[in-house]
Amino acid sequence: MNNSNSKQHYDRHAYNSGMAAFFLGGICAISAGIIVSILRDHYQFNFSLSGTLVSTMSIGNMIALLISGILPGRIGERATTLILSAGAFIGYLMTALTGNTAILLLAFLLMGISKGCTANKCTLLVGSNTDDRPKAMSLMNAWFALGALMCPFLITALQGISPSLPMIGVSLAGLCLWFVFFFSGLPGKGTTDTGAAGKTDYTFLRNPVFWILAMLLFCQNAAEYTVNGWVVTYYKNEQILSGTLATYTVTVQWIFTLTARLMLAFALKIKKPFRALMIMGIGMIITYGLMLTVNAPVPALVMLALFSFSVAGVYPMGVASIGEMLSSASLGFLLSIAGIGGILFPWLVGIIADFAGLRVGMGVNLIPCAGIIILSGIMCHRQTKA
């Protein structure tokens, strides 16, 4: 839909709602890694439990992505979104009230459900209402990065007042997220995500490109979720950074993530996306490998910054490559498959760390970095043959 006649059908309110919701989603999603670190310090959790909490959030994320593609056909986009997105408000509020393991696992599950729903619906709201999807996806993810960038400042300020206040503050951000979706104009029961009556189309499942993209995003989720969930704990444990200073590693991550995504949206014209993804994967594996070998604060932060810059474009470019397959169902399946990476690898880090140390555990994350290079190369080869 690149002609001028199609532009008049775009809903700018829905587009802007998607951008706003993803900004709030950035605050809610990325706060989780810092909250895990706070909970671990407060309740003396071991590495396995910390990793399990991060992975439980990823399980919720995957469940929501799958449900977000199926449930709208039964109860509508609006009802589905309002039910699932409430998890951020409820989940973070639960973490402020207790250190009970079972309740915390439920809380992180709900937080993950909200995260998955937010990713699906924001991509749908923005991607369906633009004639330049790659640019829109990069800009949408830049808003997410801006929200993530605010996390350490918000949490540190609130933590100085009360140990439980950071969780309450993020919970209120989750409530704001729910209200954005409430007023976004999502369609109700009896319509598809385009607003038309009809059955959900699953033909994308027979397209090999869909599965390559799914595995590419599996690797991206694995690599990024592992760093987001573990980097604060890693720097503290290895005594590279300490105290609240370690929390600001998130700031370093998301400044460079935001910079990269804004460059993709406004400065760079990527003509061969899969070649660009290969370069990003090479940057990821080099910078992450170096990050695990340094012990001084400045080099460690430089490598983290460069890793964040390298990985920043993988998600928006991967999702934008779905092309005409874009729908609630295809996004649900695509991102739920990708979400398995975010479940598996943070959990593996915790398990390995308990036996061999956290630095060794973090090393497992080199596998998905390599996967991005390989899968992007496969897509480049397919396009060359075509």
Note whether residue 4 is domain-resident: no
1 domain-assigned:
no
Per the structure, the count of domains in the chain is 1
pLDDT-derived band of residue 66, with 50, 70 and 90 as boundaries?
A: confident
Quote the mean pLDDT of the chain: 85
Residue 7, pLDDT > 80, answer no
pLDDT of residue 6: 44
- Across the range 102-120, mean pLDDT stands at 92
Label residue 72 by pLDDT band (50, 70, 90): confident
| Residue 5 within any structural domain of the chain | no
Domain of 158, CATH number, reads: 1.20.1250.20
- Let me know if residue 256 belongs to a domain: yes
Comparing 293 with 270, the larger pLDDT belongs to 293
Query: For 293-302, what is the mean pLDDT?
Result: 89
- Cα→Cα distances 340→62, 141, 148, 234, 347, Å: 7, 20, 22, 22, 11
Indicate whether 3 belongs to any domain. Answer: no
What whole-number percentage of the chain has pLDDT above 70? 93
In a domain, 71, yes or no: yes
The answer as to whether 2 is a domain residue is: no
Give the distance, in angstroms, between the CA of residue 236 and the centroid of all CA atoms in the same chain: 23
- Please tell me the predicted confidence (pLDDT) of residue 133: 80
User: Which of 23, 60, 320, 339 is closest to 181 using CA atoms?
Assistant: 23
Q: State pLDDT tens for residues 317-341.
A: 888 887 777 777 787 788 788 888 8
Q: Could you give the CA distance from residue 233 to residue 46 in angstroms, rounded to a whole number?
A: 11
DSSP string spanning 226-291? HHHHHHHHHHHHTTSS-HHHHHTHHHHHHHHHHHHHHIIIII---S-HHHHHHHHHHHHHHHHHHH
Distance (Å, whole) CA 15 – CA 328:
15
Contact 181, 85 (CB under 8 A): yes
Residue 56 lies in a domain: yes
**Would you say residue 197 has pLDDT above 60?**
no
Residues 305, 195: Cα–Cα separation, whole Å: 42
Q: What is the pLDDT of residue 4?
A: 41
Contacts 24+ apart (CB under 8 A), 1-8: 1/131, 2/131, 6/131, 7/131
How many CA within 13 A on the CB side of residue 205?
Answer: 8
Does the structure show a pLDDT above 50 at 346? yes
Domain hosting 113: range is 10-192+201-385
Q: Is the pLDDT of residue 24 over 60?
A: yes
Q: Residue 198 pLDDT > 60, yes or no?
A: no
- The CA distance from 22 to 17, in Å, is 8
